[in-house]
Amino acid sequence: MTESTTPLSAPSARPQPKPWIAQIHAYVPGKSTGLDGKPLVKLSANENPLGTSAAAVAARATTPGAALYPDPDSKDLRNALGRLHGIDPARIVMGTGSDELLHIAAQAFAGVGDEVLFVRYGFSVYPIAARRCGATPVEAPDVDYGTDVDALLAAVTERTRVVFLANPNNPTGSYIGRAELARLHAGLRPDILLVVDQAYAEYVAPEDADGAFELARTTDNVLVTRTFSKIYGLAGERIGWATGPEAVVDMLNRIRGPFNVSLTGQAMGLAAVEDQAFVQASAAHNRAERARFVAALAALGNHGLRPLPSEANFVLIEFTGALTAEAAYLGLMEAGYITRWLPGQGLPQCLRITIGTPAQMDVIAATLRRLAEAAR
Ligand SMILES: Cc1ncc(COP(=O)(O)O)c(C=O)c1O
């Protein structure tokens, strides 16, 4: 056999996935039905219980026919976001949900042999984003389910290329303030991209803002991602955006989907940005209902239900008493509500519950009380 005809390795009978892709466990979305397929009230995916801004719904009705491609650059939407947040629209890149942006941020700056770092109990897309580009996901220890800046900094190695921080974090609801975020950034090498995932930032009181937008504007290595899926009530339209240094935004623009925000998404997103009254109302509703729910849990006394402090539109409850998180999950399902039990994320002792309407939260609190008292 001549060298040119010698196969490099035995041919496979079928296409072989890259090993780092084969290692991925697919993202597990919040369910909308019970074990028997019956539709339930969905408090499992952190959607807006108030729905969508009426102005955004009206904008959908006047969108031109679907035969046309949308604006590939989502110019009007980027301009509106730029005006609202005081950001140069040239430094804004849109995504098919912020999910696309998290993936392409990892892909643009990390690859085989590199590490992507995040905190334990971080958002479950981060390990997928890391593996998808061949990088190794690395988890830093948490502190009581929250972000530990010192632990993150201690976990940085010469291979670290990207650090993901959800702030507030999903599923824990934990949050670090401006000083801690600045300390994290200051402790990272300048060649490491810090991605601050602000999917829930609009729920945080303005005076408690973490300063990530400022870092994205003034430094060379901070990217902030945001979404229309949560407070804007547009999860179904799949719209996300990110802002950061021009050089970083430029890379993301090269690899994002060319028409990655749909016609209706751009029209509804634009109307939603211009209806900040709806955003304010949603934030106020969340603050009030979250406080009321946490107080109802506190009133359960020592049944071992501990709501973790949350700055987001959900509460993670740790169950340490006779009532387990699994039993509470099943009991709530029987009462007609689907919540998020998280054994797959190493949190079998926890249940994440999205803040719903006042009536829904009354049923949730009453059901948890009944289950906790029965479990004694
Ligand atoms: C922390 C965090 N980041 C990003 C996302 C992705 O949202 P989307 O792709 O809908 O923008 C979510 C959704 O649950 C989230 O919780």
What is the full DSSP assignment across 197-242?
A: E-TTGGGS-GGG---HHHHHHHSSSEEEEEESSSTT--GGG-EEEE
Amino acid in position 360: Q
Q: Is the CB of 360 under 6 A from ligand 1?
A: no
Q: Is the CB of 44 under 6 A from ligand 1?
A: no
d(Cα 227, Cα 98) in Å, to the nearest integer? Answer: 5
Tens of pLDDT, residue by residue over 270-281, are 999 999 999 999
Residue 355 burial (10 A CB sphere; 0-12, 13-18, 19+): buried
- Which sign, positive or negative, has the C-alpha torsion 7, 9, 13, 15? negative
The CA 124 to ligand 1 mean position distance, Å, reads: 9
Q: What are the beta bridge partners of residue 223?
A: 195
Q: Which of 227, 228, 311, 313 to mutate to test the pocket of ligand 1 (most atoms within 8 A of CB)?
A: 227
What is the model's pTM? Answer: 0.95
Whether the Cβ atoms of residue 223 and residue 216 lie closer than 8 Å to each other: yes
> Average of pLDDT values for 169-197?
98
Q: Is the CB of 199 under 6 A from ligand 1?
A: yes
Predicted confidence band of residue 6 (pLDDT cuts 50, 70, 90): low
Closest CA to 175 of 198, 191, 207: 198
The CA 29 to ligand 1 mean position distance, Å, reads: 11
Predicted confidence band of residue 1 (pLDDT cuts 50, 70, 90): very low
Give the lowest-confidence range in 5-14, 72-81, 132-141. 5-14
Predicted confidence band of residue 65 (pLDDT cuts 50, 70, 90): confident
Q: Which of 125, 228, 314 to mutate to test the pocket of ligand 1 (most atoms within 8 A of CB)?
A: 125
Residue length, the chain? 376
Tens of pLDDT, residue by residue over 339-370, are 999 999 999 999 999 999 999 999 999 999 99
DSSP 8-state code for residue 126: H
d(Cα 365, Cα 47) in Å, to the nearest integer? Answer: 19
CA-nearest residue, atom 16 of ligand 1: 170
Question: What is the pLDDT, as a whole number, of residue 335?
Answer: 95
d(Cα 151, Cα 313) in Å, to the nearest integer? Answer: 26
Predicted confidence band of residue 8 (pLDDT cuts 50, 70, 90): low
Question: What is the pLDDT, as a whole number, of residue 5?
Answer: 54
Predicted confidence band of residue 83 (pLDDT cuts 50, 70, 90): very high
Predicted confidence band of residue 2 (pLDDT cuts 50, 70, 90): very low
Predicted confidence band of residue 7 (pLDDT cuts 50, 70, 90): low
Q: What three-state secondary structure class fits 94?
A: strand
Question: What is the pLDDT, as a whole number, of residue 59?
Answer: 96
Q: Is the CB of 164 under 6 A from ligand 1?
A: no
Q: What three-state secondary structure class fits 342?
A: strand
- Listed in sequence order, the residues at least 6 apart from 286 whose beta carbon sits closer than 8 Å to its beta carbon are 203, 231, 313, 355
d(Cα 16, Cα 243) in Å, to the nearest integer? Answer: 36
Q: What is the residue whose two structure tokens read 């090498």?
A: 189
Q: To the nearest whole percent, how much of the chain has pLDDT over 70?
A: 98
Q: Is the CB of 124 under 6 A from ligand 1?
A: no
Whether the Cβ atoms of residue 118 and residue 164 lie closer than 8 Å to each other: yes
Residue 200 burial (10 A CB sphere; 0-12, 13-18, 19+): buried
Predicted confidence band of residue 33 (pLDDT cuts 50, 70, 90): confident
Question: What is the pLDDT, as a whole number, of residue 251?
Answer: 98
> What are the CB-based long-range contacts (under 8 Å, 24+) for 68-71?
68/263, 69/259, 69/263, 70/259, 70/261, 70/262, 70/263, 70/265, 70/266, 71/266
CA-nearest residue, atom 12 of ligand 1: 199
Q: How far is CA 252 from CA 94, 103, 168, 224, 339, in A?
A: 9, 10, 23, 12, 34
Q: Is the CB of 198 under 6 A from ligand 1?
A: no
Question: What is the pLDDT, as a whole number, of residue 272?
Answer: 98
- Listed in sequence order, the residues at least 6 apart from 249 whose beta carbon sits closer than 8 Å to its beta carbon are 90, 91, 92, 93, 242, 243
Q: Which of 147, 165, 170 to mutate to test the pocket of ligand 1 (most atoms within 8 A of CB)?
A: 170
Question: What is the pLDDT, as a whole number, of residue 364?
Answer: 98
d(Cα 154, Cα 126) in Å, to the nearest integer? Answer: 19
The CA 171 to ligand 1 mean position distance, Å, reads: 11
Query: Which of residues 31 and 94 earns the better pLDDT score?
Result: 94
Q: How many CB atoms lie within 10 A of CB 14?
A: 5
CA angle 351, 357, 361 (to 5 degrees): 45
Q: Is the CB of 229 under 6 A from ligand 1?
A: yes
Residue 4 scores a pLDDT above 80: no
